Chains A and B, each alone.
Chain A
Amino acid sequence: MKKLIKALKKNNPKAQKQLFDLYAGYLYRICFRYMSNRELSEEVLSQAFLNIFNHIAGTDISEEKPLKAWMKKIAINQSLMELRKNIRFADTLDLIEEIEEAPLTTDEQLLEDDLIQMVLGLPDGYRTVFSLYVIEGFTHEEIGKKLNISPGTSKSQLCKARRILKEKIRKTEISYEAVR
C-alpha cells in the first residue's frame, strides 16, 4: 500500500487505476447513500476520484486507514457539494420545540437491508442530515457549516427524518408480526 500511495503521489496512471479498482465500490456506496441516484452517484464518484488524484500528492498520507478515511471525506464532501446545488432545506424553526432528541428505538431486530432501504428512501434533505448526524457522527453545527444551513434547520431535518423512519419501522414491525 505504501508503494501504491507513493506511486499515486507521482501521478502514476497504473497506481490510480489500482486505487480506483480497490475503492470505487466503497466510495460509490457512500456517494449513493447521499445521492440515492445511480447516475448522480457516478458523477460524484468520478469527481471525487479526480480530487483524490489531484490532491493526494499534497498530503502526508502513507497508510491505508488514513487514506481510506481521507477518500471517504472527499466523497462525502463531493456529495454534499452536489446536494447543495439542488436541495433547498426548508427552515423549520417552528418545530424546534417538538424535536425528538432521543434516538430511534424498536423492539424488533430489524434486518440491515430493511434499515438501509428505509434510510435511502428518505427525502434528500432528511437523508443527508440523518446520514451526517447518525452515521458520520457530525454535530448539528458541523452539519450546518457543511450544508450552509443553520444548526436549527439541521435539527429540524433530523427530526423529520426520525419521524418518517419511526413510521416506516412501525409498518415494518407490523409486517413482521403478520409474517409470524
Chain B
Amino acid sequence: MKQSVENNIKTAFDAWDEHSSDIGFNKDTLWQSIHPNSRKSSSMFSWTRVAAAAIILFLAGGWLNAMYTNHQLKKEKLAIAEQLIQSQANTIKDTPIAELHSSEPQIIYKTKIKQVESPQTQTMLADLAKKYQSVENTNVRLQQQMAETTLNNSVLNDSIQKLLGNLHEIKEAYALQAQAIQPAKENELEIKIDEAALLALSENQLPKQGVSKSTPQKFQITLKNRMTKSESSAPLFKEVR
C-alpha cells in the first residue's frame, strides 16, 4: 500500500511548526535587534528612577542628618550656656570684685582697611584719608604746642621759684632791718615841739610876751644812736623862715 509522502511532509512540517521546543536561536538577541530602544528606554527609565530615588534618599538623609545635628547642637549650646552661667555665678561668688574687673577679657579692636572696587567708596576712602591726614597734622601741631606749653610752664615755675626765693630773702632782710630799726623807735628818735610856737607860726604872729626867754629853741630834734647821740635845735622863727 503506497502512502502519499507529500501529505506526510505537510503533516510533519505542520507538527514541526507547532513544536514548542527551542530550536536554537537566541530570542533575547533577536528581540534586541527588533526593539533596540525598548530595552534601553526601559533600562534608562529604570535607571532614571533608581537615580532619582537615590538622590531623593540622599537629600532626605542629608536633611535629616542636618536637622538631627542642628538639634544636638542646640542642646549642646543650651547645656554650655547653662554651664557658663553656672560657672560665672560660681566665679562671681568666689572672686573679689577687684579680681573680677581685672579678669575681664581684653578686647582688642583692629581696624582693617579693605579696598573696595566701588568708586563712591574709593572717594569716601580718599576723603577719610584726607581727614585722617589733617587730624594727624593737627595732632602733631597740638603735641608741639603742648611741648612748648610744658616748656613755658617749666620756665614760669623756675621764675616763680626764683621769685619765691627772692621774697624769702627780702623777708629775711626786712626782718633783720626791722629788728635793727625797732630800738631806734623807742630810744633813738625824739622830737620836741613847742606847741605855742607852732601855733604862732600857723597864725603868722609874733611870739607873745608870756613866752619864756630862757627857751629860745622852739623846735628840737634829737637822734640817738647806739653809739652816738646827736641833738639839733634851732629858734623857731629864724630857722624856719
Contacts and interface: CB of A to CB of B under 8 A. Distances in A.
B27 A24 contact: yes
A112 interface: yes
A165 B5 CA distance: 10
A169 interface: yes
B6 A32 contact: no
A17 B35 contact: yes
Interface string B188-205: 000000000000000000
Among B10, B15, B21, B30, the one with the most A-chain Cβ atoms within 10 Å of its Cβ is B30
A105 B5 contact: yes
Nearest to B26: A42
Given A13-B38, A49-B34, A169 B5 contact: yes
Interface in A38-58: 38, 41-42, 45-46, 49-50, 53
Nearest to A39: B25
Contact of A107 (B3, B20, B31): B3
B9 A115 contact: yes
Chain B interface mostly: helix
A137 to B, nearest CB: 8
A104 B30 contact: no
Contacts of B21: 25
A135 B18 contact: no
Interface in B23-78: 23-25, 27, 30-31, 33-35, 38, 42
B241 interface: no
Given A24-B30, A50-B34, A106-B2, A42 B12 contact: no
B158 to A, nearest CB: 115
Given A46-B34, A119-B13, A110 B4 contact: no
B27 A116 contact: no
B1 A116 contact: no
B30 A119 contact: no
B11 interface: yes
Interface residues of A, number: 40
B8 interface: yes
B110 interface: no
B22 interface: yes
A116 B22 contact: no
Contacts of B109: none
A20 interface: yes
A29 interface: yes
B15 A112 contact: yes
A54 to B, nearest CB: 11
Given A38-B25, A134-B10, A29 B38 contact: no
B94 interface: no
Contacts of A165: 5
B27 A115 contact: no
Interface string A141-158: 000000000000000000
A51 to B, nearest CB: 11
Report the 5 A-B pairs with minimum CB-CB distance, sorted nearest first. Answer: A112-B12, A104-B5, A105-B2, A103-B6, A13-B38
Interface of A: 13, 16-17, 20-21, 24-26, 28-30, 32-33, 38, 41-42, 45-46, 49-50, 53, 103-110, 112-113, 115-116, 118-119, 131, 134-135, 165, 169
Given A115-B9, A135-B9, A135-B14, 17 more contacts: A13-B42, A20-B27, A20-B31, A25-B21, A26-B17, A29-B16, A29-B19, A32-B23, A46-B33, A103-B6, A104-B4, A106-B5, A112-B8, A112-B11, A112-B12, A119-B13, A169-B5
